[in-house]
Structure 1
């Protein structure tokens, strides 16, 4: 590996109408004092427009998904699909399958309860009404390591930190694999609240003391799950006549969750399985009874990148490991990703221990992210990947994504395609900006160790200034942060939509 590149001090290699001094002014925000700020702006061809500490490695948060998604397009290809199958090595005698039934996954995060229902219908359509053996869950496509290295223990119950398995299920078309929605609805004033799950499943237990408060009272509903358990505890009060509260929560052991949905679907289609649910590998030569293919990766990129879905990144990482080394593990996946980096022009040392950026052990420099962004422009799949990035200020959730509420009504609206990133004390924005002068620039801004500032307002000011280059517009300045406005788990207003479903 070669040494670090870039400069520690601000550099305006080409003035572009005072752009360098304007960016210096934006980054002089006093709220950034003591923080580690890296910013690089360059042309697609490699000319440096602006640099500030951009060679320093940082925790990238979800900017890491740029690396994972580009590598997936390179390694797996735009036409890659996940396949889920139902198979058996047993003989069918009239309507009886005289042996075990295997449900095998390859990591598809887009399978809903309806998908397992469709697989069950295919089995029923074979004329099978009774399975004499067991229902066997085959999740051997990936390893058994469910959580990433360095992931925070206190995030473990929540959907954005769900467990990774080759056999999983999602509650809705955001495709949050390994999760359910716990829905709390008000009853009459003073009565218990009604608690249900999406999808309905007996795989989890609901332990609720939630009540219905007076109309207009505060909503204090809280949902939690203890480590190692699928018992969800629901507490607090919801106002009578108010809207239902929904919380997206990770299940414990998604293989069992998916298989439970499939068993229920078989029963609904008149197929009874005599034996218990177990885990194991599908025998070689087993006959396929049902199959389901996911959408291609080219389409899957949209919910993945627009909504910054962490589990999608981790599943793709393991899928790359399986494709290149026959091992569905983070280690094999990281090796597959690393092998693509030189081809994008990424140089120097970096460390990515997961695919999503959830880990605090991830380290990559803005210069390296910018090199990846520039290198990707030469790939035949670039237009698809570029379109899947969030677009500043576009209200449609599957267009604007995590940038849909940012930079509206500014020069950056529609002109910035970029990936966001958020952890407590960490923020990033890296992507492309089409300037008012008709030039496409690549930029990466990653900030670590912030306290008491909404860094996204600074990122927006940078992006707006870049977008207005050549227009003669006034310099965009970062709004000062109101006293007490802090970044982190206690105030999620600054976090992206992958962390807060309501945004």
Structure 2
């Protein structure tokens, strides 16, 4: 009890170092140097709380807020990515007598449905046979930003890197069947570079909330083995696997879907730049940036966030895509008069980084600017809703949907950043970031700190959350 009072006193002293602040934080068991907190009303006034507000901390995935805010302001919420098929070769009958170029635009949401639409448009043009090579034109990104020190997570979907030809997030689906013809598993799409070995039997009558409870999946990127049992309730269930490298995946996926549409070819897949005289044969325009941003923030998708960061660089120009992305982001901060001195490292804009460092005050000022700006609706709509969806679906049930926050989790990092909206419309921007070897075990304490800030700003918060 004595130690708790001491820690609370230390936090209070840290807050009262700025005389305009009135809230003494209860750190709920955190040591003062383990957590950084900042909160302020969107409608104006002095910060409600600021504890280690200018310390450089690893933000984990709350860094996605900075990238998304910059992208909305620079590109606009209706920005769309373009993917095209081009060729300078003549069409003889239904055969394209030469190479086909796939110009990748770095669309973070480009999936097999989009690829099928692109290929269907090529078939509508009358093309059935590809007599030449499929050449991947990767000019959109001259350099990819790194995500170092994640070798131990190789093969996991969350570390898939960005790419101009990112397709289906570079994952294939295992579809499980048990329909009276025996238990079996199919790879979708059927990639020839992936060897699938299946040893499954029919299971019992159990419910199937997740097929992975009943099967073991081993995957090294080229060989996937599935063993176990498939209950009848798992018929049609799916699980994804991260396989192949980007160019291999894109080329084999293209060929599989092209053949499914009755096409033949191409002869092989390689990289190549389309000649100036190449004509567009088929085009796919993505859904708007605002749609991608919702996927990025609600489900904390690192691959998509890194791709969005590079899109900033592509549109800014200047040769080095990753360097141009950082420059564009810092320019946005300068235009909004937000000091970037505490943005000490910007590796890839997604928070999948051991090196990225930012202050909670800087992130908080970005939240204020976003809430006051022309794209406030799109920005707010991208955030997980407490107790309802995304990464907050099972958190903050006591506060409910008036709380929207981006989460962040890495080894030794836990973070929350977002907004509380009171019943009278007032809004509180909140950033709370833990950097500590104890971070993984302190999730409830972090939630409690955020809850205290909400209650201090809006004493009716708990009742509002319960009543929705």
TM bucket normalised to smaller: 0.7 to 0.9
2:451 to 450, 464, 472: 464
The answer to whether the aligner puts 1:206 opposite 2:171 as a matched pair is no
User: Is contact 2:189-2:257 (8 Å) kept?
Assistant: no
Post-superposition CA distance 1:214-271 (Å, at most 9, x none): 7669946333433xx4222435x33644536644332232232222222223323333
The answer to whether the aligner puts 1:260 opposite 2:258 as a matched pair is no
Post-superposition CA distance 1:151-181 (Å, at most 9, x none): 41122211111132101211xxxxxx22223
User: Is contact 1:320-1:328 (8 Å) kept?
Assistant: no
Query: Structure 1 length as normaliser, TM-score?
Result: 0.79
Query: Structure 2 length as normaliser, TM-score?
Result: 0.85
Post-superposition CA distance 1:364-393 (Å, at most 9, x none): 111111111112233211221112111212
**CA–CA distance in 2 between the matches of 1:57 and 1:67?**
15
**CA–CA distance in 2 between the matches of 1:472 and 1:70?**
30
Aligned to 1:406: 395
Aligned to 2:315: 323
More displaced 10-residue stretch of structure 1: 200-209 or 361-370: 200-209
The alpha carbon displacement at 1:69 in A equals 0.4
**CA–CA distance in 2 between the matches of 1:472 and 1:168?**
47
**CA–CA distance in 1 between the matches of 2:143 and 2:187?**
26
The answer to whether the aligner puts 1:441 opposite 2:428 as a matched pair is yes
**CA–CA distance in 1 between the matches of 2:359 and 2:130?**
55
1:238 to 220, 223, 229: 229
Post-superposition CA distance 1:54-104 (Å, at most 9, x none): 221111110000011011112222121111111110112232322111111
The alpha carbon displacement at 1:453 in A equals 5.3
User: Is contact 1:37-1:445 (8 Å) kept?
Assistant: yes
The alpha carbon displacement at 1:193 in A equals 5.7
The answer to whether the aligner puts 1:353 opposite 2:342 as a matched pair is no
1:36 to 34, 37, 43: 34
Counterpart mapping for 1:171-182 below 5 A: 177-182=169-174
User: Is contact 1:180-1:249 (8 Å) kept?
Assistant: yes
Number of residue pairs the alignment of both structures matches: 444
More displaced 10-residue stretch of structure 1: 55-64 or 111-120: 111-120
Cα 1:343–1:424 change in 2 (3 A) is same
**CA–CA distance in 2 between the matches of 1:239 and 1:136?**
40
Aligned to 2:165: 167
Aligned to 2:184: 194
The answer to whether the aligner puts 1:153 opposite 2:162 as a matched pair is no
Counterpart mapping for 1:192-341 below 5 A: 194-209=184-199, 219=213, 221-226=215-220, 229-235=221-227, 237-238=228-229, 240-241=231-232, 243=234, 246-273=238-265, 275-327=267-319, 329-341=321-333
User: Is contact 1:34-1:450 (8 Å) kept?
Assistant: no
Aligned to 1:3: none
1:392 to 378, 386, 393: 386
Cα 1:168–1:472 change in 2 (3 A) is closer
2:362 to 364, 368, 381: 368
The alpha carbon displacement at 1:413 in A equals 1.4
**CA–CA distance in 1 between the matches of 2:188 and 2:32?**
44
Name the SS for the 1:377 alignment partner.
helix
- Where is the helix percentage greater, Structure 1 or Structure 2? 2
The alpha carbon displacement at 1:108 in A equals 1.3
Cα 1:215–1:92 change in 2 (3 A) is closer
User: Is contact 2:170-2:243 (8 Å) kept?
Assistant: yes
More displaced 10-residue stretch of structure 1: 101-110 or 343-352: 343-352
User: Is contact 1:161-1:250 (8 Å) kept?
Assistant: no
Post-superposition CA distance 1:85-142 (Å, at most 9, x none): 1111011223232211111111113222222222222222222232321122222322
Name the SS for the 2:14 alignment partner.
coil
Aligned to 1:79: 78
User: Is contact 1:186-1:238 (8 Å) kept?
Assistant: no
Aligned to 1:51: 50
The answer to whether the aligner puts 1:9 opposite 2:14 as a matched pair is yes
Name the SS for the 1:108 alignment partner.
coil
Name the SS for the 1:427 alignment partner.
strand
The alpha carbon displacement at 1:52 in A equals 1.4
More displaced 10-residue stretch of structure 1: 240-249 or 382-391: 240-249
**CA–CA distance in 1 between the matches of 2:385 and 2:213?**
33
More displaced 10-residue stretch of structure 1: 84-93 or 322-331: 322-331
Aligned to 1:497: none
**CA–CA distance in 2 between the matches of 1:436 and 1:121?**
49
More displaced 10-residue stretch of structure 1: 466-475 or 325-334: 466-475
RMSD: 3.1
Cα 1:317–1:327 change in 2 (3 A) is farther
- Give ranges in structure 1 of 5+ residues lacking alignment: 1-5, 171-176, 477-503
